[in-house]
């Protein structure tokens, strides 16, 4: 039997902890900190012999939940009515103090068989390190609590978004993708030094590099997937790539069919914005059977290259025809090296608009268009 779900009502005027207590049908209480100090007028009785949790184990970790279990001595075990769980982000593990003396800062659950599931998107974020400690408690007839000492402090890290979560993001992105426009090339903007270095040190082949931490905090490709970033958006009035760029005044252009064709797979990687009206969609193109393809197949939703809302490849009268979504900015990651001889490098005539850079950009967690109801 699992513990009750720790739900949170976004419009509730109560604090998150008060909401936890409300949902578990408990009274508002005050808890000791990990050092056993009680706030003034605490409703906790003097310490009595209750078993202290030890050998704590964390399992079944997702981006917004985990299971917790521990061992306890048999003495007074039958007196336990509740568990107090102290959950903190790792960087704040020494800041374990009350903000107000009448607002508890711990999670409270009725004593249930272990392991117990702890979940709730409002206090758990993906890919984040946490510390957790546990007390056992016995509620008395007068409403006071007898508590054990705190257990040892355990550290763990939540997981990335799963395919289920990414599919939710995908569905939200599809809503705003807009109509499809034709494209003929993929392009990559960089400084002249980048292309010189590629020619001199890598035999003319651009090399994949690890994706930065821009976009959704829970994206499984951030800091893990290796690839080369390309753009493919075109200007509505010309049908050609824009002349402005935030990434450098030199541009490599390559015919679309050389990177995207029936021998490649297409994956959805992320959907985000940066406190602006623009929304970005990250797509991954991977040659079939390549290491990048195997990485994505395990983690990302795969798209039909002929029929999706973002980037399509179809044969018409023996010629490959390509389209991209008009109303989102596409960032395309190609997972294999790309030889400069397959395209051309030339200086652009527009401006270098640094404000449009997405390097390590932080996603707006309050945007209703591109967020899902799990940890940010």
Give yes or no: residues 69 and 170 share one domain.
Answer: no
So what's the pLDDT on residue 163?
94
Give yes or no: residues 197 and 282 share one domain.
Answer: yes
Q: How far apart are CA 64 and CA 161, in angstroms?
A: 9
Which of 134, 158, 182 is the endpoint of a domain?
A: 158
Given a cut of 50, whether residue 278 has pLDDT beyond it is: yes
Other residues' Cβ atoms within 10 Å of the Cβ of residue 209: 11
Per-residue confidence band for 350, with pLDDT thresholds at 50, 70 and 90: low
pLDDT digit string (tens) for 325-341? Answer: 999 999 999 999 999 99
Give yes or no: residues 215 and 318 share one domain.
Answer: yes
So what's the pLDDT on residue 243?
80
Residue 185 sits at φ, ψ, to 5 deg, of: -135, 155
So what's the pLDDT on residue 318?
87
Give yes or no: residues 169 and 268 share one domain.
Answer: yes
Given a cut of 90, whether residue 289 has pLDDT beyond it is: yes
pLDDT digit string (tens) for 113-156? Answer: 999 999 875 578 899 999 999 999 998 888 888 899 999 999 99
Give yes or no: residues 182 and 297 share one domain.
Answer: yes
What CATH number corresponds to the domain at position 69? 2.60.40.10
Give yes or no: residues 320 and 188 share one domain.
Answer: yes
- Owning domain of residue 96: 54-158
Q: Where are the extended beta strands (E) located within 75-150? A: 82-89, 107-110, 116-119, 129-139, 145-147
Which of 131, 158, 185 is the endpoint of a domain?
A: 158
Computed on alpha carbons and rounded to an integer, the radius of gyration of the chain in Å comes to 26
Cβ-contact 285, 264 below 8 angstroms: yes
Q: What is the pTM of this model?
A: 0.79
Q: How far apart are CA 241 and CA 232, in angstroms?
A: 7
Give yes or no: residues 182 and 123 share one domain.
Answer: no
């Amino acid at each position: 039997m699992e513990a009750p779900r720790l739900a949170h009502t976004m419009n509730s005027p109560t604090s998150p902890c008060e909401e936890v207590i409300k949902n578990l049908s408990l009274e508002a209480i005050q808890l000791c900190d990990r050092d056993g100090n009680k706030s003034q007028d605490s409703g906790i009785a003097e310490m009595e012999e209750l078993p202290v949790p030890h050998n704590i184990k964390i399992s079944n970790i997702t981006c917004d939940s985990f299971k917790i279990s521990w061992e306890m001595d048999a003495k007074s075990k039958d007196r336990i009515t509740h568990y107090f769980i102290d959950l903190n982000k790792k960087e704040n593990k020494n800041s374990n103090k009350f903000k107000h003396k009448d607002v508890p800062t711990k999670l409270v659950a009725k004593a249930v068989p272990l392991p117990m599931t702890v979940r709730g998107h409002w206090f758990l974020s993906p890919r984040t390190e946490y510390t957790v400690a546990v007390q056992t408690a016995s509620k008395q007839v007068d409403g006071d609590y007898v508590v054990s000492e705190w257990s040892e402090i355990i550290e763990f890290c939540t997981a990335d978004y799963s395919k289920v979560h990414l599919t939710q993001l995908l569905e939200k992105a599809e809503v705003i993708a807009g109509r499809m426009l034709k494209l003929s090339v993929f392009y990559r903007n960089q400084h002249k030094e980048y292309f010189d270095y590629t020619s001199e040190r890598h035999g003319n082949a651009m090399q994949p590099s690890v994706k930065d931490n821009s976009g959704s905090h829970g994206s499984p490709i951030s800091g893990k997937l290796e690839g080369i970033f390309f753009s493919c958006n075109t200007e509505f009035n010309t049908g050609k790539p824009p002349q402005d760029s935030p990434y450098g005044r030199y541009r490599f252009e390559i015919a679309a069919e050389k990177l995207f064709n029936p021998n490649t797979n297409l994956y959805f990687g992320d959907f985000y914005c940066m406190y602006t009206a623009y929304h970005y969609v990250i797509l991954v193109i991977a040659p079939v059977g390549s290491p990048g393809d195997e990485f994505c197949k395990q983690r990302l939703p795969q798209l039909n290259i002929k029929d999706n809302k973002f980037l399509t490849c179809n044969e018409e009268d023996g010629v490959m025809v390509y389209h991209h979504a008009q109303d989102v900015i596409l960032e395309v990651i190609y997972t294999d090296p790309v030889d400069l001889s397959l395209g051309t490098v030339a200086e652009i005539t527009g401006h270098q608009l640094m404000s449009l850079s997405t390097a390590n950009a932080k996603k707006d967690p309050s945007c209703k268009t591109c967020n899902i109801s799990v940890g940010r």
